[in-house]
């Protein structure tokens, strides 16, 4: 259907559909960002219960004088590959949590993942949140930042130890997780903590379903990352995600119609 | 000036590298081979940057442990933190001592009998013990969570049970167990997994695009 | 102030058993067959049978690429599959002239393989004597990410320069012969192999292996695969499994190894663990039943009691 | 006769296992020490391993082949250490931005084909290549699951009316999918426990304490 030889002079083989889809999403991202820039009304985002629960958890931490623990998993803060989005979304929620802790006076402990290259952005986000609340002096790196390397079960054991010795009022875990982070989540639960978390890495989702009081399911992680910032550009660009989803359902419907008309949909999509 | 150097230039750098990666995806290979060369080189360079930064994490790890010792001056803390420092020293000594030698490759230390002893007896058993604990924790969850309380927990319980029964040799002798397990795995699970992967990818994609145009707050406002 | 304590019903008691008792119960159930094997009968599934048939019926003069992946932290679950598979491969008769290329993508693999080759997976004497001509082992190739694997399938030299004995890769006769199998004849690529046996407990790895060893290449390499994995990766593997799909068969964990051991008659740790899995499964069913009896009893029968 | 190093190894392994298991009861010094031992081991392992990787990848390339740009990469990596100083921490943003740029560039395109477009294509082709009524039924279930689960992830509309129903069905599929993954993991963890117990019974008790063979 397509003049492949002609297209391949300008584009790599099998990338036509990719570029069309990307342009489609990109146009909507730019459209909504521009719209937000003009001060247009932001799209309404449905409530994500886990976000409300974070405020409740921080309040509880102040009440019972136990810390809030945050982690990204043993190596969950990827910045150099396709998992970077999950890190950025997690950082958005972390910034919100740290801000609440600083404002209400709860102690925040951050068990950093074993990705050393991510440390600048991880620590930077914590500093930024404290500084926004004007309480930078309350943040002590040596006291509140922990590092154990990236060994999976070494990390879970170290977390469990920290929960037992220092106490835990709320445990939040986001970022790309392996399934064995279940041990850390359950250890927090057994210590009586409110457990909140979620991941877009579907294989590990069960750990959260079984242990968390409040969940971010799959893509909710990304939506939450934008939502909590209150940044109009980020919230408004969420609408472009919805457009992409409509497009996916549309392509599915189109595929069914074309296949019924005996047109080879799979071959068309290979372009 | 300060904002330009501290914030704007890094964002610009991010966007340039990011856009070149995107361009390579569509126009690399035979169309513009230089883009693929750039991506190949940049991939390894980013790895080298990450490897070089490993000490930052170690410094943070040591300093927070040292802080704990200073704050809690009791014998239990000395023993706990001391065991960590001692272990680091032992491994460092083995590594330097066994780094290489006549007829050995550089980095031989990881294959040396001394390193293997610690790996296979100490690290490996600690890790396996944690996995075993994970199973016991999950037994607790099986009893506590898998109850037919709501639509979600009912589906979770039934689907999980179908797969567990299918995976246990003893239950495979019961007619129908294998077929039900296969169906749960092959139809509803596949559909759910497919959709969850797809939507998560769209979410990730939009964050990527937002960061490329400099509107992702987490990459902008970092102290 | 004196607090009035509510009397617990039988349903409450069944539903709120201390978690430590649950741990002890599960531990005992798993421990029983380890102390005294029971030998509960089992059935061989189609996956294990296909796996076995693929290795046993491999055509003469084939080339097998074998990734002996070992992560010591999950050795208990994946080790038995590697042991039985390696022994199965060693059992391929000499007359068949099947050549094997071994590598490891984990540092643990390179360490463990040394032990295995002199203990549980000793090659037959004729294989030992003909190292270099009937098989080659290149050891640990580093921990490759997808970009590295993309180069690897195009040219093994991008990650491997020498075999474990220090011989330059294409100076090893077996490797040289394999390289000549498919074009380009002086480069060792994925196209040179007729079967890839690999393992991983990374659940997204099947996507990568399929992309690299099946879909990439021009024409595509289409190397059929046998995959060893762990239980929770099954949903990620299933989409690629079938007689005309990239993965011909897969073995999930020690329970799968037990089936393989049953077919081959090479009894090992998998069989021992099958008993434990059986009793563990029974424990699981009991726990789910207890929880639900307590919940449903409390909900339907507990209320009636209150009404009385 | 088993050598002393193997015997000591079994003893060390058993002590590590018992130490870790004590966490099931409550916090104690023994558990803390065994945990700190592996934390120390792993941090040093990462350090040594990465230094070996840097050396292996760059040293020969720089000194023999004259590929000077690896020195730039190492320099950029060293800039990450400015993070330790509050005053110069911002310098680390430069190497960080390069790393982030690579990640952001990858995520903006790499997922499109395999995780989005191919998934839709598979769903359609499954429907039209089904060779039996059972396969067709399954393909329909998969298509329904895909659409309803996507509908659960709509954020800009409240889940009421038809969308509410669709999202509820989607949630059931999500739970089904998560449950099967959990069940697989559960079986795996069970095998791990039996492996640990087997080590304790056969190597520690029968082997080391009763003088039997150690495997």
Domain count, chain C: 1
Q: How far apart are CA A106 and CA B115, in angstroms?
A: 43
Nearest neighbour of D150 by CB, restricted to B16, B186, B195 = B195
Asked if D190 lies within 8 A of C207 by C-beta distance, the reply is: no
Q: What's the full length of chain C, in residues?
A: 308
Q: How far apart are CA C52 and CA C49, in angstroms?
A: 5
pLDDT at position B1 is 56
pLDDT of B87 higher than 90: yes
Nearest neighbour of B143 by CB, restricted to C75, C280, C291 = C291
Cβ pairs A/C, distance under 8 A: 10
Distance (Å) from the alpha carbon of A52 to chain C's nearest alpha carbon: 29
Q: How far apart are CA C135 and CA C173, in angstroms?
A: 9
| Chain A contact for B2 (CB, 8 A cutoff) | no
Which residue of B lies nearest to A130 if distances are taken between CA atoms?
B223
pLDDT of C303 higher than 90: no
Q: How far apart are CA B84 and CA B68, in angstroms?
A: 12
Asked if D113 lies within 8 A of A209 by C-beta distance, the reply is: no
Question: H or E stretch including D19?
Answer: helix D4-21
Q: Report yes or no on C9 lying in a domain.
A: no
Q: Give the mutation candidate from C234, C250, C274, C282 for the D interface (greatest D CB count, under 10 A).
A: C234
pLDDT bracket for residue B106 (50, 70, 90): low
pLDDT of C173 higher than 90: yes
Distance (Å) from the alpha carbon of C124 to chain D's nearest alpha carbon: 21
Q: How far apart are CA C72 and CA B127, in angstroms?
A: 9
| Chain B contact for D48 (CB, 8 A cutoff) | yes
Q: How far apart are CA D40 and CA B58, in angstroms?
A: 10
pLDDT at position D86 is 83
Residues of A with Cβ-Cβ distance to D46 under 8 angstroms: 114, 149-150
Asked if B218 lies within 8 A of A225 by C-beta distance, the reply is: yes
Q: How far apart are CA B39 and CA B25, in angstroms?
A: 10
pLDDT at position B101 is 64
Q: How far apart are CA C63 and CA C214, in angstroms?
A: 16
Q: Report yes or no on C2 lying in a domain.
A: no
Q: Pick from B134, D41, B79, D35: which is nearest to A161 by CA?
A: D35
| Chain D contact for A150 (CB, 8 A cutoff) | yes
Residues of A with Cβ-Cβ distance to D42 under 8 angstroms: 148-151, 154
Q: What is the pLDDT of residues A90-117, one digit of tens each?
A: 999 999 999 999 999 999 999 999 988 8
Q: What's the full length of chain B, in residues?
A: 223
> Which pTM does this prediction carry?
0.88
| Chain B contact for A233 (CB, 8 A cutoff) | yes
pLDDT tens across the length of chain D (215 residues): 578 999 999 999 999 999 999 999 889 999 999 999 999 999 999 899 888 878 877 887 898 888 899 999 999 999 999 988 888 889 999 999 999 998 898 888 878 887 899 889 989 998 998 889 999 999 999 999 999 999 999 988 888 899 999 999 999 999 999 999 899 889 888 888 998 999 999 999 999 999 888 87
Asked if D198 lies within 8 A of C269 by C-beta distance, the reply is: yes
Asked if D117 lies within 8 A of A18 by C-beta distance, the reply is: yes
| Chain C contact for A34 (CB, 8 A cutoff) | no
pLDDT at position A191 is 94
Q: What is the pLDDT of residues B30-59, one digit of tens each?
A: 889 899 888 878 888 888 899 899 999 999
Asked if A120 lies within 8 A of D46 by C-beta distance, the reply is: no
Q: What is the pLDDT of residues D67-87, one digit of tens each?
A: 899 999 999 999 999 988 888
pLDDT at position C235 is 73
Which residue of B lies nearest to C16 if distances are taken between CA atoms?
B144
pLDDT at position C308 is 43
Q: Report yes or no on C7 lying in a domain.
A: no
Q: How far apart are CA D30 and CA D16, in angstroms?
A: 9
For residue D188, the SS3 value is helix
Successive 10-residue mean pLDDT values, chain A, 271 residues: 73 87 93 88 84 95 96 88 88 95 96 91 92 91 92 94 96 91 94 94 91 92 89 87 94 96 90 81
Q: What is the pLDDT of residues B135-165, one digit of tens each?
A: 999 999 999 989 998 999 999 999 999 988 8
Q: What is the pLDDT of residues C202-261, one digit of tens each?
A: 777 887 788 788 877 667 788 999 999 887 787 778 777 878 788 999 998 887 888 899
Residues 6+ apart with CB under 8 A from C135: C99, C100, C101, C102, C123, C127, C174
Residues 1-20 of D with CB under 8 A from C: none
Domain A49-229 carries which CATH code?
Answer: 3.40.50
Q: Calculate mean pLDDT across residues B95-101.
A: 82
Q: How far apart are CA B125 and CA B187, in angstroms?
A: 38
Q: Report yes or no on C280 lying in a domain.
A: no
Which residue of A lies nearest to B135 if distances are taken between CA atoms?
A183
Q: Report yes or no on C17 lying in a domain.
A: no
Helix, strand, coil in percent for chain B, rounding step 5: 85, 0, 15
Q: Pick from C288, C79, A201, C198: which is nearest to D181 by CA?
A: A201
pLDDT of C1 higher than 60: no
Cβ pairs A/B, distance under 8 A: 200
Asked if A203 lies within 8 A of C73 by C-beta distance, the reply is: no
Which residue of C lies nearest to A180 if distances are taken between CA atoms?
C232
- Do the bridges between strand A170-173 and strand A194-199 make them parallel or antiparallel, or are there none, so unpaired? parallel
| Count of C-beta atoms within a 10 Å radius of residue B4 | 9
Sketch the domain layout of chain A as residue ranges: 49-229, 232-271
Residues 83-142 of C with CB under 8 A from B: 107-108, 110-111
Structural domain boundaries enclosing C200: 46-272
Residues of B with Cβ-Cβ distance to D31 under 8 angstroms: none
The torsion defined by the Cα of C171, C176, C179 and C184, in degrees rounded to 10, comes to: 70
Mean pLDDT of chain B: 88
CATH code of the domain in which C158 resides: 3.40.50
Distance (Å) from the alpha carbon of D181 to chain B's nearest alpha carbon: 8
| Chain B contact for C23 (CB, 8 A cutoff) | yes
pLDDT at position A60 is 95
């Amino acid at each position: 259907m397509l003049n492949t030889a002609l297209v391949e002079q300008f584009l790599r083989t099998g990338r036509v559909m990719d570029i069309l889809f990307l342009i489609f999403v990109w146009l909507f991202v730019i459209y909504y960002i521009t719209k937000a820039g003009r001060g247009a009304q932001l799209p309404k985002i449905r409530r994500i219960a886990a976000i409300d629960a974070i405020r409740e958890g921080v309040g509880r931490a102040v009440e019972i004088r136990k810390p809030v623990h945050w982690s990204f998993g043993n190596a969950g803060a990827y910045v150099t590959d396709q998992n970077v989005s999950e890190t950025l979304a997690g950082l958005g929620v972390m910034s919100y949590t740290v801000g609440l802790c600083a404002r209400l006076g709860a102690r925040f402990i951050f068990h950093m993942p074993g990705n050393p290259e991510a440390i600048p952005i991880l620590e930077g986000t914590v500093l930024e949140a404290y500084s926004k609340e004007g309480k930078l002096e309350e943040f002590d790196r040596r006291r509140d930042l922990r590092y154990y390397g990236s060994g999976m079960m070494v990390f879970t054991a170290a977390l469990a130890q920290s929960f037992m010795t220092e106490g835990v009022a709320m445990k939040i875990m986001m970022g790309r997780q392996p399934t064995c982070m279940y041990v850390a989540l359950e250890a927090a639960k057994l210590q009586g903590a409110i457990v909140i978390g979620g991941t877009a890495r579907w294989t590990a989702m069960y750990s959260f379903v079984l242990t968390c009081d409040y969940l971010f399911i799959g893509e909710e992680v990304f939506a939450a990352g934008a939502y909590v910032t209150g940044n109009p550009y980020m919230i408004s660009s969420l609408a472009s995600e919805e457009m992409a989803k409509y497009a996916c359902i549309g392509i599915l419907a189109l595929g069914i119609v074309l296949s019924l008309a005996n047109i080879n949909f799979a071959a068309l999509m290979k372009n | 000036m300060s904002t330009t150097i501290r914030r704007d230039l890094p964002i610009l750098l991010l966007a340039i590298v990011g856009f070149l990666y995107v361009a390579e995806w569509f126009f690399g290979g035979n169309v513009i081979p230089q883009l693929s060369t750039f991506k190949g080189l940049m991939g390894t360079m980013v790895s080298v940057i990450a490897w070089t930064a490993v000490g930052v994490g170690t410094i943070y790890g040591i300093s927070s442990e040292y802080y704990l010792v200073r704050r809690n001056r009791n014998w239990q803390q000395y023993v706990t933190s001391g065991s960590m420092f001692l272990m680091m020293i032992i491994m460092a000594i083995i590594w330097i001592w066994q780094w290489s030698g006549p007829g050995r490759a550089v980095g031989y230390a990881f294959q040396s009998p001394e390193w293997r002893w610690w790996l296979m007896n100490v690290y490996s058993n600690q890790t396996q013990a944690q996995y075993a604990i994970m199973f016991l924790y999950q037994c607790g969850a099986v009893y506590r969570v898998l109850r037919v309380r709501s639509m979600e927990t009912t589906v979770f319980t039934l689907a999980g049970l179908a797969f567990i029964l299918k995976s246990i040799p003893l239950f495979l002798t019961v007619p129908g167990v294998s077929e039900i397990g296969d169906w749960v795995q092959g139809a509803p699970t596949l559909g759910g997994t497919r959709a969850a992967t797809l939507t998560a990818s769209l979410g990730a994609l939009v964050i990527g695009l937002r960061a490329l145009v400099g509107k992702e707050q987490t990459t902008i406002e970092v102290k | 102030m004196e607090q009035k304590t509510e009397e617990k019903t039988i349903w409450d008691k069944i539903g709120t058993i201390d978690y430590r008792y649950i741990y002890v119960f599960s531990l005992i159930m798993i421990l029983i067959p380890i102390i005294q094997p029971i030998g509960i009968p089992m059935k061989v599934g189609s996956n294990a049978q296909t796996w076995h048939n693929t290795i046993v019926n491999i055509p003469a003069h084939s080339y097998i690429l074998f990734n002996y992946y070992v992560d010591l932290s999950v050795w208990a679950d994946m080790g038995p599959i590697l042991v039985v598979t390696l022994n199965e491969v060693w059992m391929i008769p000499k007359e068949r002239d099947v050549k094997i290329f071994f590598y490891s993508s984990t540092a643990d693999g390179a360490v463990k393989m040394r032990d295995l080759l002199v203990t549980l997976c000793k090659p037959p004497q004729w294989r030992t004597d003909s190292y270099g001509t009937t098989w080659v082992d290149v050891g640990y190739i580093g921990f490759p990410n997808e970009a590295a694997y993309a180069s690897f399938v195009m040219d093994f030299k991008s990650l491997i320069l020498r075999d474990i004995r220090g011989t330059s890769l294409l100076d090893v006769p077996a490797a040289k012969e394999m390289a000549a199998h498919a074009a380009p004849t002086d480069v060792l690529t994925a196209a040179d192999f007729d079967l890839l046996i690999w393992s991983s407990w990374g659940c997204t790895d099947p996507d990568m292996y399929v992309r690299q060893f099946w879909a990439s290449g021009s024409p595509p390499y289409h190397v059929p695969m046998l995959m060893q994995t762990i239980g929770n990766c099954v949903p990620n593997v299933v989409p690629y499994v079938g007689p005309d799909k990239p993965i011909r068969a897969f073995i999930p964990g020690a329970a799968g190894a037990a089936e393989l051991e049953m077919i081959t008659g090479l009894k090992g740790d998998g069989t021992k663990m099958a008993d434990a899995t059986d009793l563990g499964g029974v424990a699981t069913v009991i726990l789910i039943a207890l929880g639900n009896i307590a919940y449903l009893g409390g909900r339907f029968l507990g209320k009636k009691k209150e009404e009385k | 006769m088993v050598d002393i190093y193997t015997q000591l190894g079994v003893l060390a392994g058993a002590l590590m296992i018992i130490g870790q298991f004590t966490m099931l009861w409550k916090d104690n010094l023994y558990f803390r020490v065994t945990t700190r031992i592996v934390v120390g081991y792993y941090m040093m392992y990462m350090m040594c391993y990465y230094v070996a990787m840097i050396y292996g990848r760059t040293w020969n390339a720089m000194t023999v082949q004259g590929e000077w740009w690896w020195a730039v990469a190492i320099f950029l990596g060293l800039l990450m250490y400015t993070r330790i100083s509050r005053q110069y921490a911002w310098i680390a943003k430069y190497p960080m931005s390069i790393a982030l740029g690579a990640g952001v560039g990858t995520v903006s395109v790499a997922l499109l084909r395999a995780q989005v477009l191919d998934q839709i294509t598979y769903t359609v082709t499954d429907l039209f290549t089904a060779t039996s009524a059972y396969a067709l039924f399954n393909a329909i279930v998969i298509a329904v699951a895909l659409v309803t689960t996507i509908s659960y992830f709509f954020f800009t509309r409240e889940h009421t009316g038809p969308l509410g129903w669709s999202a509820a069905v989607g949630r059931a599929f999500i739970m089904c999918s998560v449950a099967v993954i959990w069940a697989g993991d559960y079986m795996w963890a069970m095998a791990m426990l039996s492996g640990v117990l087997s080590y304790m019974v056969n190597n520690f008790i029968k082997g080391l304490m009763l003088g039997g063979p150690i495997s």
